[in-house]
């Protein structure tokens, strides 16, 4: 499939030439209009033999659509809460559950590249140590950042408040607020997005892009900064561990820490 039988050759020296070019690169002879006027494949539709197995734009488009759909869900919920001035836990849970079909649908075509990351990867003392280090870095970074921000007078949202008021038990809050988002977001960002951009670009770049997308989805300028660092550490952890599971564990532990802290704060108030 790599050689195109219709690929044109220079009439003067028989060297293969690209369609749409006016002169032969080998001998400099002008090419006939049949070759020169052939527009050939444009940038968006490069042939598979040129760019690898998949067209790069098509390869990343599902990731971008997934992100836009997740953003739209968050936006609609945000606008609804803003207009009606009512926020109910069931609305937040429904929005979260809506993320599952969005991620699976948009990640379906590239499933082979990220589903293998759901395996545990090389498991040993080294990877455990690495996950523990990532957790430590995240705790220091997030707590330090939010402490500095609180010194500036920024109020952080107590996300557990609505759930406690609605009478949710703690374990249900942990499932809905810690485990579920950790699993969905790791598959979406460290899985679908990171794998797509790794294939199109390189690993370092993919980590930065998915960290940005992950942070911006949280829709708060304060959180843009904190979660960019959070996403960067998790992306690096996924690169080194070659698995999504350590990241899910670290992510869930951080979420649980926030929820328990929020509940504690309510108890103190």
Near other proteins in 168-227, by CB under 8 A: 197, 200-201, 205, 208-209, 212-213, 216-217, 219-221, 224
Burial class (CB in 10 A: 0-12, 13-18, 19+), 109: middle
Q: Which residue number, 195 or 245, has a Cβ lying nearer to other proteins?
A: 195
User: Buried b / exposed e across 219-229, counting CB within 10 Å, b at 16+?
Assistant: eeebbeebbbb
Q: How many CB atoms lie within 10 A of CB 210?
A: 28
If binding is defined by CB under 8 A, does position 26 make contact with other proteins?
yes
- 222, 154 contact by CB (below 8 A): yes
User: According to CB under 8 A, which one of 12, 105, 132, 154 is a site residue for other proteins?
Assistant: 154
The number of residues that bind other proteins (CB under 8 A) is 61
Eight-class DSSP state of 23: B
If binding is defined by CB under 8 A, does position 11 make contact with other proteins?
no
If binding is defined by CB under 8 A, does position 239 make contact with other proteins?
no
Distance of CA 206 to the CA centre of its chain: 9
* Residue whose C-alpha is closest to residue 251's, from 195, 196, 177: 177
Q: Which residue number, 59 or 251, has a Cβ lying nearer to other proteins?
A: 59
- 191, 269 contact by CB (below 8 A): no
Q: Which residue number, 48 or 172, has a Cβ lying nearer to other proteins?
A: 48
User: According to CB under 8 A, which one of 11, 54, 69, 71 is a site residue for other proteins?
Assistant: 71
Query: Which residue shows structure tokens 């006016």?
Result: 22
User: According to CB under 8 A, which one of 4, 129, 150, 175 is a site residue for other proteins?
Assistant: 4
User: According to CB under 8 A, which one of 11, 18, 141, 156 is a site residue for other proteins?
Assistant: 18
Computed on alpha carbons and rounded to an integer, the radius of gyration of the chain in Å comes to 25
Question: CB under 8 A: which stretch of 46-54, 95-103, 133-141, 243-251 binds other proteins?
Answer: 46-54
Residue 200 CB, nearest approach to other proteins (Å): 7
User: According to CB under 8 A, which one of 12, 14, 25, 166 is a site residue for other proteins?
Assistant: 25
DSSP line for 135-184: HHHHHHHHHHHHHHHHHTTPPPP-TTHHHHHTT--HHHHHIIIIIHHHHH
User: According to CB under 8 A, which one of 82, 147, 167, 268 is a site residue for other proteins?
Assistant: 82
Question: CB under 8 A: which stretch of 37-45, 115-123, 169-177, 234-242 binds other proteins?
Answer: 37-45
- 117, 191 contact by CB (below 8 A): yes
Measured on CA atoms in the order 210, 214, 220, 222, is the torsion positive or negative?
negative
Question: CB under 8 A: which stretch of 69-77, 102-110, 165-173, 248-256 binds other proteins?
Answer: 69-77
Contact residues for other proteins, defined by CB under 8 A: 2, 4, 7, 15-28, 30, 39-44, 46-47, 49-52, 56-57, 60, 64, 67-68, 71-72, 74-75, 78-79, 82-83, 85, 153-154, 197, 200-201, 205, 208-209, 212-213, 216-217, 219-221, 224
């Amino acid at each position: 499939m790599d050689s195109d039988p219709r690929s044109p050759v220079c009439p003067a020296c028989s060297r293969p030439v690209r369609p749409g070019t006016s002169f032969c690169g080998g001998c400099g002879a002008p090419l006939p209009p049949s070759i020169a006027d052939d527009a050939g494949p444009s940038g968006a539709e490069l042939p598979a033999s040129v760019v690898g197995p998949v067209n790069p734009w098509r390869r990343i488009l599902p990731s971008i659509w997934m992100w836009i759909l997740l953003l739209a869900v968050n936006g609609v919920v945000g606008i609804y809460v803003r207009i009606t001035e009512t926020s109910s836990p069931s609305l937040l849970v429904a929005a979260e559950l809506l993320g599952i079909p969005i991620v699976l649908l948009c990640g379906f075509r590239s499933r082979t590249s990220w589903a293998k990351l759901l395996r545990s990867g090389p498991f040993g003392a080294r990877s455990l140590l690495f996950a523990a280090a990532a957790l430590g870095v995240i705790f220091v970074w997030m707590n330090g950042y939010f402490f500095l921000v609180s010194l500036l007078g920024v109020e952080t949202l107590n996300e557990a408040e609505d759930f406690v008021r609605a009478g949710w038990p703690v374990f249900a809050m942990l499932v809905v607020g810690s485990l579920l988002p950790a699993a969905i977001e790791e598959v979406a960002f460290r899985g679908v997005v990171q794998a797509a951009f790794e294939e199109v670009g390189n690993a370092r770049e993919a980590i930065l892009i998915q960290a940005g997308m992950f942070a911006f989805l949280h829709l708060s300028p304060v959180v843009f900064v904190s979660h960019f660092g959070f996403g960067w550490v998790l992306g690096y952890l996924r690169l080194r561990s070659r698995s999504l599971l350590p990241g899910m564990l670290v992510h869930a532990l951080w979420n649980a820490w926030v929820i328990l802290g929020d509940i504690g704060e309510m108890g103190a108030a």
